[in-house]
Structure 1
């Protein structure tokens, strides 16, 4: 992760954290997450575009291959869970995806 991406993530994470643990009088409800990134946060976009996937790619947590470059959950998954939102659908996986709560534009091997 580059230093600029790290600092952007830190700012975003801090804002979310402040909303979660902030004053009970100030309510901060997020309705959606839109994620941009690379393999560190790809939830299956690359394998949706190029379906030559082989397992396990997510089988540890999801109990079946789900096309991820990792075998479990990502930071964006934990963030969605903390905000009470469903896991993000990859933008490139248009069939069966629900974008009402956001989308994941992150793709493995992006430049």
Structure 2
């Protein structure tokens, strides 16, 4: 048991170091030129990737709309649960996408570069904007965009089937599932819960 705990810590450390290196590279190499990366970016997950989905769904009710959130980069609350940018902001800006808009924010959004469906507090299957709901939103969004392809004069502002096929998809979710389980079920063996969570992940990825 001690061996596996030690091995897990080493793997976690490796993941964290890798993420830090990616962020460092993207920040210090300078942002790519706008439009340099053609494939759109589609994002699914929880608060670490939520750039305003919850705020758009519940205006005036999210703590991320008030100080100190956002103050150290945006100079104002930016609907992110951070005092600055999120991991997804560093990645999207570094790749030349700019800041990808949340799916539910229709005003002023540019979905040609992709859409962010991530929702703070999301789990695999038990919250308002669970991963399952986010996938439903994406499928609805995709169908609507492809329907617009039939409308003349809109081809420059909508996504094509090639965009969806070549797009970059990012998912980060699961920590809320484990946090909720172990906070409400202290002392319980989590093996069954882990198996169920992995199954939900498989089903989501297949969809």
**TM-score scaled to structure 2, two decimals?**
0.39
Distance 1:71 1:108 in 2: 15
Q: Unpaired segments of 5 or more residues in structure 1?
A: 1-9, 21-27
1:33 equivalenced with 2:45 (yes/no): no
- Hey, what does 2:98 align to over in structure 1? 86
Name the larger-Rg structure.
Answer: 2
Counterpart of 1:62 in 2: which secondary structure? coil
- The alpha-carbon deviation at position 61 of structure 1 amounts to 0.6
Q: Unpaired segments of 5 or more residues in structure 2?
A: 1-14, 27-35, 124-207
Distance 2:55 2:81 in 1: 9
Following superposition of structure 1 onto structure 2, how do residues 1-111 of structure 1 map, counting pairs within 5 Å?
29-51=37-59, 52-53=61-62, 54-56=65-67, 57-111=69-123
8 Å contact from structure 1 (residues 58, 67) kept in 2: yes
Distance 2:44 2:99 in 1: 15
> Which stretches of structure 1, 4 residues or more, deviate above 6 A after TM superposition?
none
- Larger RCO of the pair (alpha carbons < 8 Å, separation 6+): 1
- The alpha-carbon deviation at position 92 of structure 1 amounts to 1.5
- The alpha-carbon deviation at position 86 of structure 1 amounts to 1.1
Distance 1:29 1:94 in 2: 23
Distance 1:35 1:100 in 2: 14
8 Å contact from structure 2 (residues 72, 84) kept in 1: yes
8 Å contact from structure 2 (residues 51, 118) kept in 1: yes
Distance 1:29 1:44 in 2: 23
What is the Cα-based RMSD across aligned positions, in Å?
2.5
- The alpha-carbon deviation at position 30 of structure 1 amounts to 4.3
Aligned residue pair count: 89
